[in-house]
Amino acid sequence: MNLVDRVIHSLRAHHDQLATLVTTLDEAGLTRPSAATEWRVCDVLSHLGSGAEIMLRPLAAAVAGTPVPEGANQEVWDRWNALSPVDQALGFVEHDRRLVETLEGLDHDVRASLLVDLGFLPTPVPLVVAAGMRLNEVALHHWDVVAGLDATATLDRDAAEVLLELFCGPLAVLLGWVGRPEALDEVAVVAFEHHGLTIAEDVALVAEPPMAPTAFFTGPVEAAVRLIAGRLGPAHTPEEVAVSGNVTLDDLRRVFAGY
């Protein structure tokens, strides 16, 4: 499968897993804290459900070749925030299903050529960028939900590998948005999982071992992705994770404070 196919495949897998999990949670389970700061499990599901509803508008418009319908995102969020925890969870399942099914229904040629106007970027973007941004959100918030129920939860390895590929290419700009290189006193080039993470004036990731690393991150690939996403706090760090060289794990946590 090419990258956009793998993204859509992973979105389907995450939808099915979360939809199954939702059926096992009563109101007490839905209102317990998630691993996302100040968000309950139902709040995370509401965020994902409203995000699916919002994304489906420009996606459907791109497929139809029509302008994106007008609509204020805040109105959508307000409506979702007013729902009960159970309705937020059920709403997530319904709206995320619609989005995933729409993506799955696109044939090879459309997946390769479609441009989607997300509204908050300067120009319409290829589907791999739009769907990749959705996977970044879904995979990480999926972890937020599951880690709220089990502190040892990890990201799906396949999704972690897809996200790394996205961070090296179509979503490279995301690292510039979320990284805080000013948190370090010196340049760091961190080697991990055959990748190189450079933290200088900007933050960049390349899919090849760096020529002159200054530090090494050892541990599972999913932990490296969670680090970049600000989700590798002490309570959720596998024992095998270690950082050596001119930066520490705590240094890297400051660079990647989370989003």
Q: Do 79 and 130 belong together in one domain?
A: yes
Residue 33 lies in a domain: yes
CB-CB neighbours of 235 under 10 Å: 9
Query: What single string gives the DSSP state of each residue in 229-249?
Result: TT---GGG--TT-EEEESS-H
Q: Which residues have C-beta within 8 Å of that of residue 46, sequence separation ≥ 6?
A: 80, 81, 83, 88, 91, 92
Query: What's the total number of domains in the chain?
Result: 2
| Domain of 9, in residue numbers | 3-153
Residue 217 lies in a domain: yes
Confidence (pLDDT) at 96: 98
Q: Do 132 and 223 belong together in one domain?
A: no
**What pTM was estimated for this model as a whole?**
0.95
Q: Do 145 and 42 belong together in one domain?
A: yes
CATH of the domain at 32: 1.20.120.450
pLDDT in tens, the chain (259 residues): 899 999 999 999 999 999 999 999 999 999 999 999 889 999 999 999 999 999 999 999 999 999 888 878 899 999 999 999 999 999 999 999 999 999 999 999 999 999 999 988 889 999 999 999 999 999 999 999 999 999 899 999 999 999 999 999 999 999 989 999 999 999 999 999 889 999 999 999 999 988 899 999 999 999 999 999 999 999 999 999 999 999 999 999 999 998 8
Q: Do 139 and 187 belong together in one domain?
A: no
Residue 55 lies in a domain: yes
3-state secondary structure of 205: strand
Residue 161 lies in a domain: no
Q: How far apart are CA 101 and CA 87, in angstroms?
A: 21
Q: How far apart are CA 213 and CA 216, in angstroms?
A: 7
Q: Do 144 and 218 belong together in one domain?
A: no
Q: Do 95 and 14 belong together in one domain?
A: yes
Residue 91 lies in a domain: yes
In sign, the C-alpha dihedral spanning 255, 204, 207, 11 is: positive
Confidence (pLDDT) at 209: 87
Short-list 120, 111, 144, 118, CA closest to 61: 118
